[in-house]
């Protein structure tokens, strides 16, 4: 059955160019910026990033915007039980409770077209699907794959699997169930994303419990900006810390001789190796190391059994890319990358980026900078800088 509301919404976005609002703006805590236009939000974020970077950069800040609706490929919703009925719920804007939601226009279409039909099936179920269900997670791709994970406070049995399998077929998706110390995989625990990046198609396996960039459109813009910087170098070896599943690693690897990429998560390293094979890339070596461990290994402070087959002395790094968590870089990593000629720093927190630039600017100059709006209708903003050794 065609969802008339969904078709109308797409028409307004694509044909009319209208920035849609959500009926829950002002009560749902997921979108804190709801009383100004998207253009005003973007301008405020640009001014904030520009101000933080002003002591280190006087050039033009590139601004990469987002679709204002249907941009988020990963989402989690609580389940609120009221009598025999279940509803999706989100934390409220005052952070002291939750509200039931009837729409969520920020999720991409592959999620939106399935989430409400799933809720109908949950409510139609006698007990099997709804009993002690407390959350549902969605992971989707631009190519219409969708993985739905249902989270429970009870042990799942074969009867649950049978009903969930029917929904999997009905919704043309992949279903999983989780409870304490239990994971039920009905088909796969991943989706496969294909992104067109700088004229090439890259394939990424994205696992249910692994980190993925939530906004595919802005993610491509981030990667392409990093590629622009890599093309300016075009030689030597490439080092990456916090590489995840190879989001930046794979597209950037073509501009360097050898690549060493590190990541602490076993699941992410597994996905990165799989993605390398899927894209027929053979100049990348992945190592399971935290950022601090990478620094110790490259400085010869500590030997790691995980690196026994990797000759670290064989690398001549011309460029490093770091994409740390909100806390920014540790002192050891800053000292290490200060010795490398080119630095691409992707940041999910412009405040800690500015803090780290106070040290990095002693050895490097910021020659390019950008901001990326991964999360419209929130105060969160991501940014990137390209530094060249003085």
Active site residue ranges: 348, 382
Q: Is the dihedral of CA 390, 243, 112, 180 positive or negative?
A: negative
Strand locations in the chain (E): 61-64, 74-82, 85-91, 98-100, 133-140, 146-152, 174-179, 182-185, 190-197, 200-207, 237-241, 259-263, 284-288, 317-322, 342-347, 364-372, 382-389
Helix (H, G, I), strand (E, B), or coil: what is residue 25? coil
Cα pseudo-dihedral 227, 233, 235, 241, rounded to 10: -60
- CA dist 177 and 179 (Å) reads 7
Residue 190 CB: number of other CB atoms within 10 A? 20
3-state secondary structure of 319: strand
The phi-psi region of residue 285 (left if phi > 0; otherwise alpha if psi is between -120 and 50; otherwise beta) is beta
The one-character DSSP state at 173 is: S
Asked if 63 and 370 touch (Cβ cutoff 8 Å), the reply is yes
């Amino acid at each position: 059955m065609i969802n008339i509301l969904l078709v109308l919404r797409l028409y307004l976005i694509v044909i009319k160019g209208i920035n849609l609002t959500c009926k829950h703006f002002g009560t749902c805590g997921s979108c804190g910026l709801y009383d100004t236009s998207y253009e005003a939000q973007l301008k405020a974020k640009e001014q904030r990033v520009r101000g933080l970077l002003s002591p280190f950069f006087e050039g033009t800040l590139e601004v990469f915007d987002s679709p204002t609706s249907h941009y988020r490929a990963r989402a989690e919703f609580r389940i609120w039980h009221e009598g025999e009925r279940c509803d999706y719920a989100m934390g409220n804007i005052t952070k002291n409770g939750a509200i039931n939601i009837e729409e969520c226009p920020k999720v991409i279409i592959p999620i939106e077209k399935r989430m409400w039909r799933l809720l109908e099936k949950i409510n139609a179920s006698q007990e099997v699907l709804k009993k002690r269900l407390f959350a549902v997670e969605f992971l989707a791709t631009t190519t219409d794959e969708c993985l739905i994970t249902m989270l429970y406070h009870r042990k799942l049995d074969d009867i649950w699997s049978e009903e969930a399998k029917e929904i999997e077929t009905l919704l043309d998706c992949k279903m999983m169930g989780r409870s304490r110390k239990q994971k039920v995989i009905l088909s796969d625990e991943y989706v496969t994303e294909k992104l067109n990046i700088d004229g090439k198609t890259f394939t990424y396996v994205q696992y249910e419990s692994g980190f993925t960039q939530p906004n595919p459109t802005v993610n491509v813009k981030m990667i392409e900006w990093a590629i622009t910087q890599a093309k300016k170098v075009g030689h030597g070896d490439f080092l990456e810390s916090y590489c995840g599943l190879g989001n930046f690693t794979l597209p950037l690897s073509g501009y360097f001789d050898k690549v060493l990429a590190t990541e602490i998560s076993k699941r992410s390293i597994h996905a990165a190796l799989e993605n390398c094979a899927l894209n027929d890339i053979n100049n990348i070596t992945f190592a399971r190391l935290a950022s601090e461990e990478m620094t110790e290994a490259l400085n010869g402070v500590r030997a790691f059994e995980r690196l026994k087959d990797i000759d670290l002395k064989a690398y001549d790094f011309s460029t490093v890319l770091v994409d740390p968590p909100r806390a920014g870089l540790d002192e050891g990593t800053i000292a290490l990358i200060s010795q490398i000629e080119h630095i691409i720093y992707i940041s999910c927190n412009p405040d800690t980026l500015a803090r780290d630039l106070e040290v990095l600017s002693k050895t490097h100059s910021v020659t390019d900078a950008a901001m990326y709006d991964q999360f419209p209708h929130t105060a969160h903003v991501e940014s990137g800088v390209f530094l060249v050794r003085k």
